[in-house]
Amino acid sequence: MAPDLTAQLAALADENRAPSEEVIAAVSSSGDGVRALKTLSRSPDPRVRLWAALYAGDLAKGRAGSLLVQLAADRDPDVRDAALQSLVAGGWGPPDFDIADIARRKLFSKDPIEPITAMWLLAATDSRTAVAAIREFAASPTRPWHLPTAEVVSMLLDHRDNEVLERLSAHDHDRTSELATAAVLMHTPSSLAVLLANSTHLPDTVCRDWCKYAAEILWSEPYYQSLARLRAASVGQLGRTEHERSAVERR
- Measure Cα distances from 76 to 49, 68, 81 in Å: 9, 14, 9
Contacting residues for 114 by C-beta, under 8 A, at least 6 apart: 77, 80, 81, 106
Q: In this predicted structure, what is the pLDDT of residue 135?
A: 82
pLDDT at 242 exceeding the cut of 50: no
The whole-angstrom separation of Cα 13 and Cα 51 is: 6
Lowest mean pLDDT among 7-16, 25-34, 209-218, 222-231: 25-34
Higher local confidence (pLDDT), 201 or 27: 201
Chain-centroid distance, C-alpha 235: 18
pTM of the model: 0.81
Instruction: Identify residue 226 by its one-letter amino acid code.
Output: S
Q: What is the pLDDT of residue 206?
A: 97
Q: Measured on CA atoms in the order 244, 248, 249, 250, is the torsion positive or negative?
A: positive
* pLDDT tens, position by position, 66-121: 899 999 999 999 999 999 988 888 887 777 788 888 888 888 888 888 899 999 99
Tens digit of pLDDT for each residue in 170-202? 999 999 999 999 999 999 999 999 999 999 999
Cα–Cα–Cα angle for 229, 230, 233, rounded to 5 degrees: 85
pLDDT of residue 237 exceeding 70: no
Q: Are 97 and 87 in contact (CB under 8 A)?
A: yes
The half-sphere exposure of 143 on its side-chain side, counting CA atoms within 13 A, is: 22
- The model's pLDDT over 130-177, given as tens digits with 9 standing for 90+, comes to 988 888 877 776 778 889 999 999 999 999 999 999 999 999 999 999
Distance CA 77, CA 186 (A): 27
89 or 2: whose pLDDT is higher? 89
Q: How far is CA 44 from the centre of its chain?
A: 26
Domain ranges across the chain: 1-97
